[in-house]
Amino acid sequence: MNAWERAEGSPFPLGASWIAEESSFNFSLYSRHATAVHLLLYRKGDLVHPAREVKLNYLFNKSGPIWHCRIHCESSDDWAYYAYRVDGPAPQGGYDFHDFDFQKVLLDPFAKRVFFPESFSREAARRPGSNEGQAPLGILPNQFCEFDWQDDRISRHGSDLVIYEMHVRGFTNNPNSGVPETHQGTFLGVVDKIPYLVELGVTAVELMPVFQFDPDDGNYWGYMPLNFFSPHHAYSTNPSACNQRDEFRMMVKELHAVGIEVILDVVYNHTCEGDHRGPTYSWKGIDSSTAYMMTGNANTPYANHSGTGNTMHTANRAIRRMIVDSLRFWDSHMHVDGFRFDLASVFTRNSDGSINLDDPPIVSEIGTDSDLCDDRLIAEPWDADGQFQLGKKFPGQRWMQWNAHYRDTMQRFVRGDRGMVPDLMTRLYGSCDLFPDDLRHALQPSLSVNYITSHDGSTMYDLTAYNEKRNWANGHNNTDGAKEYSWDCGWEGDEETPSEILQIRKQQVRNFFCLLMLSNGTPMFRMGDEFLQTQRGNNNPYNQDNATSWLDWVRRVEHADIFEFVREMIAFRKSHPSISRSRFWRGDVRWYGTGHLVDMSSESRQLAYCLHGESQSDKDIYVMINAGSESTEFGIQEWAFEKWRLAVDTSFTSLSELASRSESQCVVTPTWNSPSRSVCVLVER
């Protein structure tokens, strides 16, 4: 068999691989419908004319739907890049639509690194005919591209898990970030800022998409993937050689060294190729009906459940294998700890777009893969075409989920909406309505990823500064962006803000963070919210690669009090394991209002509760929440009042300021006057 493989190549592994003992490259490409496949090998000095073009013979170089070949490399061969040209049937009707164009230079979907020539052009990929010299190319695997992980390992966090959503470029690309200029906006820039993350206290970073995406598409966020196996070239200081992978791996290794998990926001529901009017970079020209869901309509052949023009055909076994192989690659070769799946409801769609909630194959394959069994799996449990599967409806049994109901409840309650108390109780408790722990479901509160803001919306500060979004710069007539529940605190915008308005806004942000850290479940917040990052009212800056989206590190100094409060609340949560549990609080919690009974009326804006910590070897916690515009007196319903001390009051700038006042050390009356729009937390002495 080895002799046959040396002559004909091997169908596995897919992609390009180096066979050291043979001084050969093996190439393997899946295309069920192709009638002709040519392999193109390029030197660095000529990206227009291939140094070698190999025509694959289906009698020797095809096994089932996989085309393959083995190319011996002489010492004089200086090939650096590779690509394909693929031909096949003309566009056909129904679900057999094809987009073959034999003149197109096509990127291998399994390339581990991607190279962009200086003349790279998205437009050349959009129009019919050749895009030679303008196409992205795969970088041939270098046999010396090894990385020393040493003793890299990470322990999974439990009750102390706090997720920090981060955009790699936006985190340090601002010149005031304090990192070396060559590191700004890169993986190494994140490494430079690790001491900051440690000081803040977060225990996981969730990186917005770092897969190679189309640099010509104008999607700063990175949600237009071009390849599922390679880090984005612009996030490394040098996109050549091994840097694309090694600098990512260096970042992961250094984060692990300080106990921070690395979670990737991954996009497997669509690609940057768009619909029939979009570019042909890779999948579309290799085998479009395998890669994408089709409508059967010749005028709009590509199904669009993602809102971006196409939808990955995850019901197809070849696409499922590619996705699982991609996850395995990032797990085993890049040492990441988990994945957050963008628009994960697409995974539940059958080939015709209908919904399969019983056992969608891709969800099952990911969840049961032995190589991924220790990884965190987080779903965004909806898609752009009406599916909303939050909670028990989503078929991934051990998958965590972004909890949009938590977000909406907290935004509405903190801004002062009435009648939110019953829902507030449910969200603080861990959203048992969505993740029930009954006999049938046996779900847990930690599956709920609680957040108030994410990249997909306003910053937390902007929620308190703008009633109206300001998305004009995005180019959609201010019609884009999520619906949110904001309140400008009586002054629209951030220009010439009176000091008293700014203080209200800061108190509202403290309320948000306090409630987030007091909730059962898994907390997540977006980068910069800890020092009042602003996007000037833009709540959808997906195409704003500028100061709108880059962190302004000057605000870290200007609003050091907010940073200090957030840091202290994270530490408070970590010091009280009874807050975040593997199970719901059940009998350990007692709910109250300003008096003994909870006021669940349509007018209520107050809630109190006592969380008993003995079962978790923790102290008791008594929380009083007042979202009203006037101060309110709460009766302390448990234990003698002398038992309690005040640990948190969001009307103070920080917990350390509170602790410095002797009158806060103990409670001296059986009632507590809670300031307007505040959260007060008592802790057992």
Cα 104 to Cα 85, 284, 286: the distances in Å are: 6, 11, 10
pTM over 0.85: yes
Helix, strand, coil in percent for the chain, rounding step 5: 30, 20, 50
Q: Do the beta carbons of residue 302 and residue 311 sit within 8 Å?
A: yes
Distance from C-alpha of 315 to C-alpha of 648, rounded to nearest angstrom: 50
The β-bridge partners of 66 are 30, 63
- The token pair at 30 is 């899946």
Distance from C-alpha of 282 to C-alpha of 431, rounded to nearest angstrom: 42
- The token pair at 534 is 């602003």
* Residue ranges in the chain modelled with pLDDT below 50: none
> b/e per residue, 379-393, with b = 16+ CB within 10 A?
bbbbbbbebebbbbe
Distance from C-alpha of 198 to C-alpha of 248, rounded to nearest angstrom: 19
Q: Spell out the long-range contacts of 244-249 with Cβ–Cβ below 8 A and sequence spacing 24 or more.
A: 244/113, 244/114, 244/139, 245/112, 245/113, 245/145, 245/147, 245/333, 245/334, 246/145, 246/147, 247/186, 247/187, 247/188, 248/187, 248/210, 248/334, 249/147, 249/149, 249/334, 249/335
Give the DSSP H or E segment for 410.
Answer: helix 404-415
Q: How many CB atoms lie within 10 A of CB 683?
A: 20
Q: Do the beta carbons of residue 462 and residue 537 sit within 8 Å?
A: yes
Q: In this predicted structure, what is the pLDDT of residue 654?
A: 82
Question: Roughly what angle, to the nearest 10 degrees, separates helices 317-332 and 283-291?
Answer: 120
Distance from C-alpha of 469 to C-alpha of 278, rounded to nearest angstrom: 30
User: In terms of Cα–Cα distance, which of 31, 189, 176, 7 is closest to 110?
Assistant: 31
Give the DSSP H or E segment for 646.
Answer: strand 644-649
Distance from C-alpha of 487 to C-alpha of 413, rounded to nearest angstrom: 11
CA torsion through residues 114, 117, 123, 127, sign: negative
Residues that are catalytic: 342, 380
Is residue 121 left, alpha or beta, with left meaning phi > 0 and alpha meaning psi from -120 to 50?
Answer: beta
Cα 555 to Cα 174, 176, 186, 559, 585: the distances in Å are: 12, 10, 21, 6, 37
Distance from C-alpha of 529 to C-alpha of 460, rounded to nearest angstrom: 6
- Complete edge-to-edge strand list for the sheet that includes strand 15-19: 15-19, 24-30, 66-72, 62-63
Give the 3-state secondary structure of residue 559. Answer: coil
Tell me the pLDDT tens digit for each residue of 182-210: 999 999 999 999 999 999 999 999 999 99
Q: How many CB atoms lie within 10 A of CB 224?
A: 24
Strands (E), 441-511: 448-450
User: In terms of Cα–Cα distance, which of 394, 418, 416 is closest to 404?
Assistant: 394
Q: Do the beta carbons of residue 285 and residue 99 sit within 8 Å?
A: yes
Q: What's phi and psi for 241, nearest 5 deg?
A: 50, -135
Alpha helices in 295-346, H assignment, sequence order = 317-332
Distance from C-alpha of 485 to C-alpha of 468, rounded to nearest angstrom: 10
The β-bridge partners of 625 are 607, 679
Q: In this predicted structure, what is the pLDDT of residue 664?
A: 64
Cα 106 to Cα 41, 131, 510: the distances in Å are: 12, 9, 51
> In angstroms, how far is the first alpha carbon of the chain from the final one?
74
Cα 96 to Cα 29, 386, 477, 494: the distances in Å are: 20, 26, 37, 54
User: In terms of Cα–Cα distance, which of 29, 134, 80 is closest to 242?
Assistant: 80
Q: What single-letter amino acid sits at 454?
A: S
Distance from C-alpha of 314 to C-alpha of 309, rounded to nearest angstrom: 16
CA torsion through residues 449, 451, 455, 457, sign: positive
